[in-house]
Structure 1
Amino acid sequence: MIPLQEPFRVADEADAHELADLVNFAGEGLPLHVWSGLAQQGQDPWDVGRVRQAEKARDGQVVVVDFGNGAVASLTGYTIGAEPEPVGDDFPSLFRPLQELENKALESWYVNVLACYPEYRGKGHGSRLLSLAEQIAQDENVNRMSVIVASNNSGARQLYERHGYEEMATRPCIKDDWETETEHWVLLLKSL
């Protein structure tokens, strides 16, 4: 990980509550839907999400923006390797279009989560986190960036396009029993 300066820091387990919120914002509500399916009888799905996010924080996978009162924005990402992930018949249908798009972004640094609490939007945090993501990618000798956005999330798409990302492919959103307004997933790429 590259050195971070305030207000950036690596997330820790204490950020799990905020990270679950932020992941759900970025995922258009799909994370909460998944957590609901994973929750045991009587278990709060948000608790499932918080446990999962605490694990990611323990592994040092998340950067947050924190002005001293907890995380207000977050970035999670990783390098997609050179080989596509198999998408066989047993692959979960909700995630099939997302994996198919990731497979079109081989050898890129994938912005998996970039999210901000609504009251902190429009203040440049997303742009600063995107710049940080590009620094991390370059530090890892990766020469292109990738992200998947929901077709109806015009704010996110505008942010990425302002930073030089271009549409490369789309896939229809498979909804199963997930209630969403998302019709398509859109893969955006940028060369560094």
Structure 2
Amino acid sequence: MIALERPERLATPSDAQQLAELINIAGEGLPLHIWTGLARDGQDPWDIGRARQAEKAQEGQIVVVDFGEGAVAGLTGYSIGTEPVEIGADFPTLFRPLQELENQALESWYVNVLACYPEHRGQGLGARFLDLADEIARAEGLHRMSVIVAGDNVGARRLYERKGYRTVASAPCLKDGWDTNTQEWLLLMKELF
């Protein structure tokens, strides 16, 4: 991981509540839908989300912006390898189109989650995180960036396009019980120079 400057820092397990909320904002409710499907009788789906985010934070996978009162924005990403992930018959329907798109972004640094609480939008945090993502990718020896966004998320698309990303592929959204207006997923990529 590259050196971070305040107010950026690595997330810790104590950020789990904010991280779960942020990933659900970024995923437009898809994470909560998934956690609800995983919850056992009487289990709070948010407990699952918090536990998953605490684990990722423990592994040093999430960067947050913290102005002194906890995480208000977060960035999670990872390097996509050189080989596509096999999509077999048992691959979950909901994730099939997302994995198909990700398989087209081999050898890139994938922006998995970029989110900010609504009251902190308009402060340049998204652009700042994307610059940070570029630095991380370069430090890992990668020359391409990638992200998948909902086709109807115009605000996110504008942000990525301002930072040099371009739509390179699309896939239909297979809702599989998820209540959403999203009709398609878009893969956006950019080259790092």
Corresponding residue for 2:85? 85
Name the aligned partner's letter for residue 47 of structure 1.
D
1:173 & 1:7 partners in 2: Cα distance?
36
What is the aligned partner in structure 2 of residue 65 from structure 1? 65
Partner Cα separation in structure 2 for residue 91 and residue 148 of structure 1: 19
Q: Which amino acid aligns with 2:160?
A: Y
Return the alpha-carbon distance in structure 1 between the equivalents of residues 8 and 152 of structure 2: 29
Q: What does residue 150 of structure 2 align with?
A: 150
Aligned counterpart, 1:140 = 140
CA distance in 2, matches of 1:41, 1:119: 34
> Which residue identity does 2:188 align to in structure 1?
L
Q: After TM superposition, what 4+ stretches of structure 1 lie above 4 angstroms from structure 2?
A: none
Q: Scaled by the length of structure 2, what TM-score is found?
A: 0.99
| CA distances 1:27-48 after superposition (whole Å, capped 9, x unpaired) | 1111000000111111110111
CA distance in 1, matches of 2:144, 2:180: 30
Map of 1:170 onto structure 2: 170
Q: 2:9: which partner in 1?
A: 9
Cross-structure match for 2:185: 185
Q: Which consecutive residues of structure 2, in runs of 5 or more, have no partner in the other structure?
A: none
Q: Which residue of 1 aligns with 2:18?
A: 18
* TM-superposed deviation, 1:81: 0.3
Aligned length: 192
Question: How much has 1:155 moved relative to structure 2?
Answer: 0.4
Q: Distance in 2 between matches of 1:80 and 1:130?
A: 17
Partner AA of 1:105 in structure 2: A
Instruction: Measure the CA separation in 2 of the matches of 1:121 and 1:155.
Output: 11
Matched, 1:126 2:122: no
Q: Distance in 2 between matches of 1:39 and 1:58?
A: 22
Other-structure match for 1:44: 44
Q: What is the CA–CA distance in structure 1 between the aligned matches of 2:121 and 2:98, rounded to whole Å?
A: 25
SS in 2 for 1:18: helix
CA distance in structure 2 between the partners assigned to 1:189 and 1:165 by the alignment: 5
Distance of 1:136 and 1:21 partners within structure 2: 24
SS of structure 2 residue aligned to 1:176: coil
SS class of match (1:110): strand
RMSD between aligned residues:
0.4
Structure 1 unmatched runs, 5+: none
Deviations 1:38-73 (A, max 9, x none): 111111101110000000000000000000000000
